[in-house]
Amino acid sequence: MNENEVDLESPGNHNEAPSSDATKQTHRVVPSHYVYPFVLVTTLFALWGFANDITNPLVRAFKEIFLISNAQSSLVQWAFYGGYATMAIPAALVIRKVSYKSGIIIGLLLYAVGALLTIPASVAMNFNIFLVGFYVLTFGLAFLETTANPYILSMGPKETATQRLNLAQAFNPIGSLTGMVVASMLILPSLEVAEFREAEKAAHPEYATMLPSQVDGLITSAMEASAQADPEAHQAMVAHDLDVVKTPYVVIAVIVIAVMLIFIFSKLPDTGHEEDKIELLPLMKHLLTSGRYVGGVIAQAFYVGAQIMCWTFIIHYGMTLVGLSAAQAQNYNILAMSIFLASRFICTFILQYLRPGLLLGILAVGGGLLTLGAIFLQGMTGLYCLVGVSACMSLMFPTIYGIALTGLSPNDAKLGSAGLIFAIVGGAFMPRFQGALIDGDGMTIAGQALESVRVSFFLPFVCFVVIAIFGFSVNFLAAKNTAEPAST
C-alpha cells in the first residue's frame, strides 16, 4: 500500500509536572524527552513503504520467470494485501491489550520471517512459497501500521498530534521510492528474462515495425518455446532470476531484525493501552449502522484497488503498449510516485478552502478522466495519462479515512480504524480481476480497437466513479447540514 492511516485522536498520558520547561514543550511538535522514541518509531514508516513498493514490479517479473498468466502473477498482490486484510482487526485487538513496544516487536518479527521465506522459495523455485512469504510479511506490516500511528500521536500534546503524525508519514514515501529504485535499478535490469527479451528484439528487426502488444506476445511465445526446447537452460535462468529477486528481501530482513533488536533493548515510554473489556458485537453493530462509515470503508476498498492496479500494471502498459523494457516502465512508476508526493502537499493546501468530500469528488473525477485517457489515447500520451492519475490519488486515502471516522467516539474510532485498514483487501481482489482482463481479448469501442491491457483499465475507472459518488454525497450532506438552521 501503499498509504498510512490517520487516526483522529491522540491517546497518551502526559503527567509531567508543570514547569517553565514543560510549558515550552507543550508547543513543540515533538517534546525533547520523546525525540529518541519518535525517531526510532518513524523508521518503521520507511520500512513498510519499502515493502509495499518493491513488491509491485514482481507481478510482471514473476509472469515471465514462471511463464504464468497475468491473473496468476497478480496473486502476488492477492497474498500481499490479503495479509493486511487478515491481520488488521486481530492486530488492533491485540494492541489494545499490550504496550506499543510489544506490538512493534511482533510486527517486526513477522516482517522478517515473511521476507526470509523468499530463501526457501527461491531454492525450491516455487511461486506458492513466495506467496506465503508475502502473506506473512504483511501480517507484520498490519501490526506496524496499527501500532506506529497511534504511538506517534501519543508522543506529546494532542494539540500537535496531527503535525507529529504528518512529520512521521513524510518518511513513508522515502521507503516507497527506495523500493521502487531498487526494483528499477537492481532487480529488473538484472533478470535474465529481460536479457532474453532484448536478444529476441535484436534477432528480429521486423519487430520495430509491429505494434508493441504484438511484439510482447511473440516474445512470450518464444520464451515458452525455449523453455520446452532446453529445459535445463530455462531452469538455470529461473534459478538466477529468483536469486536476484530474493536478495533485497534477505537484506531488508537483516535490517528489520537489527531494528527489532534496537527496539527490544531500548527503553521506550509506555503511553498506555486499553484495559477495558472489548464489547465487540455492540461496537460493530454501531459502526455498521453509520452510513458515513460503511460508505467510507467501501470507498477505501475501491481506492486501494485503483491505486494498486494503476501502480502494478503501469509496467504491463509500458511494455505491451509502448514497447519499453521492464526497467524503463518502472521508471514511470517512480515518476508517478514523485507526482503523488508533490500533489499531496498541493491538495493539503487546497483542503483549507474546500470541504473534504468535495475535494475527494473532484480528485476522483480527475482520476477517472485520466484513466479514460490511458484507455483511449495511444503511445506515450496514454502512458502520461496513467502517470498523471497519481496526482489525483495523492490525498484520497487519508481523506476517506478522516471522513469515515468523523463523529465516532474514541473507542468506536479505534475499531473503525481497523475496519479501514481491512479495506486494503481491495488491493488483493481487484488486481486479480485486472490480470484476468489482460489475459483476455481486446474489444472495439466507437470504432477504436483496444488491446486487452487498455480494456483492463476500465476497472480502475469504475473505482474512481464509486469514490466520486461517495465524495459528492458526503459533501452534499455536509452542505445541507450547514444550511439548515440550528434547532431551538
The region of weakest confidence among 98-102, 368-372, 375-379, 410-414 is 410-414
Q: What is the pLDDT at residue 7?
A: 41
pLDDT band at residue 309 using 50, 70 and 90 as cut-offs: very high
Whether 95 shows a pLDDT value over 60: the answer reads yes
pLDDT of residue 14: 44
**Confidence category of residue 459, pLDDT binned at 50, 70, 90:** very high
When comparing pLDDT for 486 and 295, which is higher?
295
330 belongs to a structural domain:
yes
State whether 61 and 88 are in the same domain. Answer: yes
pLDDT in tens, 9-32: 433 444 444 445 544 545 677 788
Q: Is residue 230 part of a domain?
A: yes
Indicate the number of domains in the chain.
Answer: 2
Of 270, 288, 319, the one marking the end of a domain is 270
Does 309 map to a domain?
yes
Predicted confidence at residue 308, as pLDDT, reads 92
- Is 5 part of a structural domain of the chain? no
Asked if 140 and 111 count as a contact pair (C-beta separation under 8 A), the reply is yes
Query: In this structure, are 259 and 376 located in the same domain?
Result: no
Select from 217, 246, 270 the last residue of a domain.
270
Matching residue, cell 474514541: 410
pLDDT above 90 covers what percent of the chain? Answer: 45
Q: Are 34 and 153 in contact (CB under 8 A)?
A: no
Domain holding 241, by residue range, is: 31-270
Does residue 285 share a domain with residue 217? Answer: no
Stretch among 30-39, 229-238, 258-267, 400-409 having the lowest mean pLDDT: 400-409
pTM over 0.85: no
Q: Which three cell numbers stand for residue 313?
A: 500494471
pLDDT band at 441 (very low <50, low <70, confident <90, very high): confident
Is residue 354 located within the same domain as residue 417? Answer: yes
| Phi, psi at 279, each rounded to 5° | -90, 80
Residue pLDDT, tens place only, 218-256: 998 999 999 999 999 999 999 999 999 999 999 999 999
The whole-angstrom separation of Cα 479 and Cα 322 is 45
The candidate with the shortest Cα–Cα distance to 124, out of 238, 282, 3, is: 238
Residues 99-108 pLDDT 10s: 888 889 999 9
pLDDT for 293 equals: 85
Pair 265, 311 in one domain? no
| The residue type at 347 | C
In a domain, 199, yes or no: yes
Distance CA 465, CA 365 (A): 7
Instruction: Answer whether residue 48 shows pLDDT above 50.
Output: yes
Mean pLDDT of 454-473: 96
CATH number at residue 374: 1.20.1250.20
Alpha-carbon gap, residue 401 to 145, rounded angstroms: 14
Pair (367, 421) in one structural domain: yes
Among candidates 134, 126, 28, 2, which has minimal Cα distance to 75? 134
- Mean pLDDT of the 305-313 span: 93
